[in-house]
């Protein structure tokens, strides 16, 4: 029997309204991305990685990564680091920010993270990984989740040894991306490992990796027994993929719908990051949104060359004038920014990673 992806499930005391989770992705999962994901059917959305070292050392970076809006819930904020005490303190701040779940990253394969003893490196030191989970679980009243890879090396089965121990230390759900850190994003995700992990633990397991369609999501859930699937790269500039996976609503969006969603994303990202940072941050999104044959390639290149977000919006409206009415409707449905929780006194730092 095929799984109903619109069915709710639970992480601890937190109800997740669909079985589709929007992945935490560094350099992607800003608030605008998460809010869009919720609108298109993601039952749970996740922040990008927040560095606990940045919190500890009061790194003067934008606080917007811990800004929580009313329409994001349920929301997991992901933290990474290697010191249990520092991770526990960071988790307290995550709880104060209004998150519903604290997620710990034991999966990032990027060298600048693993060389500090964080991310996927911790899969090779189960004792230390368990100390971190225990410290975080003791520090907060929120459910604690852990995202991990299969291990550092190709063929590793470290996740099957570490996973049950993390649950024993306090993790209330596990997400497995069954590629090795060495693989990065090459090859295919080996979801036979996901099925093995499901049999080993008594908490929900989220299956991550290669979830690009509703058919793939249903096949993975059916063959692994996982509670939910996590969608990552397939949703970059393509929230319609979430709708297709969660609700079975297939079909390409119109040019006006694409332009309207991109315009809203541009405006919301500018509000979050400021004009200067947003103008640079958004450039990679233009190709993601406008690709797949939706707009001519020269048009995508034209947007990348523009200097301000206002110019980008004007050019999109010129290319798809009917998008203006769609944007107006979408903006009217957004909650008041004053409903957000912002920890003004807490500087954080975001490192690259995946």
Q: Are 1 and 18 in contact (CB under 8 A)?
A: no
Which one from 46, 52, 108, 159 is the annotated catalytic residue? Answer: 108
Nearest alpha-carbon partner for 288 in 238, 213, 239, 353:
238
Which two three-digit tokens encode residue 93? 């701040």
Beta-strand relationship, 14-16 and 9-11: antiparallel
Q: Give the Cα-Cα-Cα angle 239, 145, 142 (nearest 5 degrees).
A: 105
How far is residue 282's CA from residue 318's CA, in Å, rounded to a whole number?
19
How far is residue 306's CA from residue 283's CA, in Å, rounded to a whole number?
9
Which residues lie closer than 8 Å to 28 by C-beta, 6 or more apart?
48, 236
How far is residue 174's CA from residue 11's CA, in Å, rounded to a whole number?
10
Beta-strand relationship, 173-180 and 101-106: unpaired
How far is residue 268's CA from residue 257's CA, in Å, rounded to a whole number?
16
> Is 159 among the residues known to form the active site?
no
Nearest alpha-carbon partner for 231 in 14, 7, 38:
38
Alpha helices by DSSP H, listed for 232-353, are 240-247, 255-273, 275-281, 283-290, 297-305, 309-319, 323-332
Residue 179 phi, psi (nearest 5): -115, 155
Which residues lie closer than 8 Å to 297 by C-beta, 6 or more apart?
none
- Active-site residue set: 108
């Amino acid at each position: 029997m095929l799984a109903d992806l619109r069915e709710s499930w639970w992480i601890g005391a937190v109800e997740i309204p669909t079985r589709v989770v929007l992945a935490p992705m560094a350099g992607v999962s800003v608030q605008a991305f998460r809010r869009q994901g919720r609108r298109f059917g993601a039952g749970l959305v996740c922040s990008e990685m927040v560095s606990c070292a940045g919190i500890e050392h009061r790194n003067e970076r934008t606080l917007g990564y811990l800004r929580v809006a009313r329409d994001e819930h349920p929301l997991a904020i992901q933290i990474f680091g290697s010191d249990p005490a520092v991770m526990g303190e960071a988790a307290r701040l995550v709880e104060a920010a209004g998150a519903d779940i604290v997620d710990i990253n034991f999966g990032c394969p990027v060298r600048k993270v693993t060389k500090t003893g964080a991310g996927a490196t911790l899969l090779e030191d189960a004792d230390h990984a368990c100390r971190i989970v225990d410290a975080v679980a003791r520090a907060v009243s929120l459910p604690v989740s852990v995202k991990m890879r299969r291990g550092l090396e190709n063929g590793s089965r470290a996740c099957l040894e570490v996973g049950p121990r993390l649950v024993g230390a306090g993790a209330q759900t596990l997400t497995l991306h069954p590629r090795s850190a060495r693989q990065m994003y090459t090859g295919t995700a080996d979801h036979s490992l996901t099925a093995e992990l499901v049999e080993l633990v008594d908490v929900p397991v989220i299956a991550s990796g290669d979830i690009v369609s509703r058919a793939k999501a249903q096949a993975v859930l059916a063959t692994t027994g996982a509670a939910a699937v996590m969608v990552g790269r397939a949703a970059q500039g393509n929230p319609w993929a979430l709708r297709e996976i969660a609700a079975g609503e297939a079909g390409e969006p119109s040019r006006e719908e694409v332009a309207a969603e991109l315009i809203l994303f541009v405006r919301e990202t500018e509000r979050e990051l400021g004009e200067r940072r947003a103008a640079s941050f958004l450039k990679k999104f233009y190709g993601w949104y406008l690709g797949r044959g939706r707009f001519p390639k020269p048009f995508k290149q034209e947007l990348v060359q523009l200097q301000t977000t206002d110019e980008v919006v004007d050019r999109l409206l010129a290319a798809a004038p009917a998008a203006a009415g769609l944007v107006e409707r979408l903006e009217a449905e957004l909650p008041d920014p004053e409903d957000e929780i912002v920890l003004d006194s807490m500087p954080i730092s975001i490192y690259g990673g995946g």
